[in-house]
Structure 1
């Protein structure tokens, strides 16, 4: 069974994330969405809320792709999380050159720790390259419309946080 791990903070999950998840699901038999606890980033949504959003969005994708997609919270090293879930590959989404520089360093470190786990990069769809969770939160906080960047359910959750 081919198992992939797509890690992130998902604070909140965006249409860009969903695009990468949909495409990654076609490459594996089981896709684990690693929801990073990452207290250092000071997430807007609790871990439980982020996992629930990921589960809700991924349930639809799982039906569409026929691939099992599950959420898995983690607060350890990414390579340890990959081992924990039995992943043979880590999926990373790239939006811009700046993403690549950081990801290139991360791949080198991860390969040094466990060369048996591959990293696969998926380029963000052109329509989603500008989407970043940080910007989505800022736009919402300042009263802007984020309906082009997140699903209706996530938009409502964002509005609830800033009400």
Structure 2
């Protein structure tokens, strides 16, 4: 099975993370490499991510950015890390703040990715076929939010 990398940019989302539910869904996920990019959160987001990592049966990466960057810069940081650490052909990204604005939860995102990994991989492959080769690694990373919008997926809150 092909592994997929997911970069999740986080900024001040401690109130939106249900640790127990997240761990439950993430522990069931297979062939997914997660990389959380904590984008200079002022709340407890970084500590909660470290706590989740400690109690989860599965490992994931956490990058901690000390000075706030744009989402694009945070995604680039996550992309560089994922490309250097893992042999992945498919890497998607999502901003947790966009998920929250759309009233989606991180837990429902992980649950959806776990259940629809084949469709997400097909989407990523189709994007690569439809677009000319990219000059940078970052440009080959696809948006999970765009995938959700195009597939008309409704994630539960």
Q: TM-score, normalised by structure 1?
A: 0.44
Q: TM-score, normalised by structure 2?
A: 0.46
